[in-house]
Amino acid sequence: MNDEFLTRFRRPPPPQFAARLYERIAQPMLTQTKHPARRRAGLAAAGLLAATLSAFMLFPSARALAGGIIQQIGGYGFTQDASQVTPVQKTGAPGNARPPDMVVKSQNSVSIQSTSKGPSAPDAAGATRLAGFTVLAPSYLPAGFSSMSDWLVAPQGNGRVASRGYRGGLNNFLIINEWSAAGSAEQDYARSTIVDVTINGQPGVYLPSPTNDAGRKDALVWAENGITYSLITDSVSQADLMKVAEGLGK
Amino acid sequence: MITRTSLAAWLGAAATEADFEALYRAELPRVYNFFRYRLGDDALAEDLTSETFEKAWRNRARYRRDLAAFSTWLFTIARHVAVDHYRRRRLETPLEAAARLPHTLSTEDAAQANADRERLRVLLARLTDRERELVALKYGAGLTNRAIAGLTGLTESNIGVILHRALHSLRAEWESQS
Residue of chain A minimizing CA distance to B9? A203
Q: Average the pLDDT over each of A204-213, B103-112, B153-162 and give the range with the smallest value.
A: B103-112
Residue of chain A minimizing CA distance to B117? A9
The residue-averaged pLDDT of B99-127 equals 60
What per-residue confidence (pLDDT) applies to A235? 86
Q: Is residue B76 domain-shared with residue B132, that is, in the same domain?
A: no
Query: Does B4 fall in a domain?
Result: no
Q: Give yes or no for residue A155 having a pLDDT over 60.
A: yes
Taking contacts as CB-CB distances below 8 angstroms, the residues of chain A near B8 are: 202-203, 223
Last residue of a domain, one of B50, B69, B92: B92
Query: Does B9 fall in a domain?
Result: no
What per-residue confidence (pLDDT) applies to A25? 77
What per-residue confidence (pLDDT) applies to B34? 94
Last residue of a domain, one of B44, B76, B92: B92
Q: Is residue B80 domain-shared with residue B139, that is, in the same domain?
A: no
SS (H, E, C) B111-151: CHHHHHHHHHHHHHHCCCHHHHHHHHHHHHCCCCHHHHHHH
- Do B50 and A24 lie within an 8 Å CB cutoff? yes
A21 → closest Cβ in B53, B68, B174 = B53
Last residue of a domain, one of B92, B126, B144: B92
A196 → closest Cβ in B22, B49, B146 = B22
Query: Does B149 fall in a domain?
Result: yes
Residue of chain A minimizing CA distance to B33? A10
pLDDT tens for A78-87 read 333 333 333 3
Q: Which pairing describes strands A189-191 and A172-180: parallel, antiparallel, or unpaired?
A: unpaired
Please tell me which residue, B144 or B57, carries the higher pLDDT value: B144
B8 → closest Cβ in A11, A26, A223 = A223
Please tell me which residue, B107 or B112, carries the higher pLDDT value: B112
The residue-averaged pLDDT of B7-25 equals 51
Query: Does B81 fall in a domain?
Result: yes
Residue of chain B minimizing CA distance to A133? B146
Please tell me which residue, B140 or A188, carries the higher pLDDT value: B140
Q: Is residue B86 domain-shared with residue B106, that is, in the same domain?
A: no
Q: Is residue B87 domain-shared with residue B104, that is, in the same domain?
A: no
- Do B144 and A250 lie within an 8 Å CB cutoff? yes
Task: Judge whether B32 and A187 are in contact, CB under 8 Å.
Answer: no
- Do A66 and B1 lie within an 8 Å CB cutoff? yes
SS (H, E, C) A61-77: HHHHHHHHHHCCECCEE
What per-residue confidence (pLDDT) applies to B32? 95
Q: Give yes or no for residue B178 having a pLDDT over 70.
A: no
Per-residue pLDDT band for A221 (boundaries 50, 70, 90) equals confident
- Do A196 and B30 lie within an 8 Å CB cutoff? no
Q: Is residue B63 domain-shared with residue B103, that is, in the same domain?
A: no
Per-residue pLDDT band for A208 (boundaries 50, 70, 90) equals confident
Task: Judge whether A185 and A166 are in contact, CB under 8 Å.
Answer: no
User: Cβ contacts of residue A231 below 8 Å, gap of 6+?
Assistant: A174, A175, A176, A177, A219, A220, A221, A241, A244, A245
- Compute the nearest-CA separation of B88 from chain A (Å): 23
Query: Does B8 fall in a domain?
Result: no
Please tell me which residue, B110 or A232, carries the higher pLDDT value: A232
The residue-averaged pLDDT of B25-35 equals 91
Q: Is residue B106 domain-shared with residue B88, that is, in the same domain?
A: no
Highest mean pLDDT among A155-159, B9-13, B162-166: B162-166
What per-residue confidence (pLDDT) applies to A46? 62
Per-residue pLDDT band for A102 (boundaries 50, 70, 90) equals low
A226 secondary structure, DSSP code: T
CATH number at residue B39: 1.10.1740.10
User: Mean pLDDT in chain A?
Assistant: 69
Taking contacts as CB-CB distances below 8 angstroms, the residues of chain A near B72 are: 225
Q: Is residue B143 domain-shared with residue B163, that is, in the same domain?
A: yes
How many beta-carbon contacts under 8 Å exist across A and B? 135
ipTM of model over 0.90:
no
Query: Does B160 fall in a domain?
Result: yes
Contacts of range A70-74, beta carbons closer than 8 Å, 24 or more positions apart:
A70/A190, A70/A191, A70/A210, A71/A217, A72/A100, A73/A189, A73/A207, A73/A217, A73/A219, A73/A221, A73/A230, A73/A232, A74/A161, A74/A163, A74/A175, A74/A177, A74/A179, A74/A187, A74/A219, A74/A221, A74/A230, A74/A232
What per-residue confidence (pLDDT) applies to A14? 92
What per-residue confidence (pLDDT) applies to B4? 34
Taking contacts as CB-CB distances below 8 angstroms, the residues of chain B near A203 are: 7-8, 22-23, 26
Domain, as residue range, for B41: 16-92
CATH number at residue B114: 1.10.10.10
What per-residue confidence (pLDDT) applies to B57? 80
CA atoms within 13 A on the CB side of A249: 21
Residue of B2, B6, B7 to mutate, testing the A interface (most A Cβ within 10 Å of its Cβ): B7
What per-residue confidence (pLDDT) applies to A42? 60
Q: Taking a contact as any Cβ pair under 8 Å apart, which residues of chain B between 65 and 124 contact chain A?
A: 65-66, 68-69, 71-72, 113, 116-117, 120-121, 124
Q: Taking a contact as any Cβ pair under 8 Å apart, which residues of chain B between 40 and 69 contact chain A?
A: 42, 46, 49-50, 53-54, 57, 65-66, 68-69
Q: Is residue B140 domain-shared with residue B79, that is, in the same domain?
A: no
Q: Give yes or no for residue B160 having a pLDDT over 60.
A: yes
Closest CA relative to residue B75, chosen from B129, B140, B125 = B140
Task: Judge whether B75 and B52 are in contact, CB under 8 Å.
Answer: no
A140: buried, middle or exposed (CB in 10 Å: 19+, 13-18, 0-12)? middle
Highest mean pLDDT among A91-105, A144-158, A207-221: A144-158
User: Mean pLDDT in chain B?
Assistant: 74
Domain count across chain B: 2
For residue B5, report the phi and psi dihedrals to the nearest 5 degrees: -100, -5
Q: Average the pLDDT over each of A52-56, B95-99, B134-138 and give the range with the smallest value.
A: B95-99
Query: Does B2 fall in a domain?
Result: no
Q: Is residue B108 domain-shared with residue B33, that is, in the same domain?
A: no
Q: Give yes or no for residue B105 having a pLDDT over 60.
A: no
Q: Cβ of B29 under 8 Å from any chain A Cβ?
A: yes
pLDDT tens for A36-66 read 455 556 666 666 656 655 554 455 554 444 4
What per-residue confidence (pLDDT) applies to B77? 92
Q: Is residue B20 domain-shared with residue B84, that is, in the same domain?
A: yes
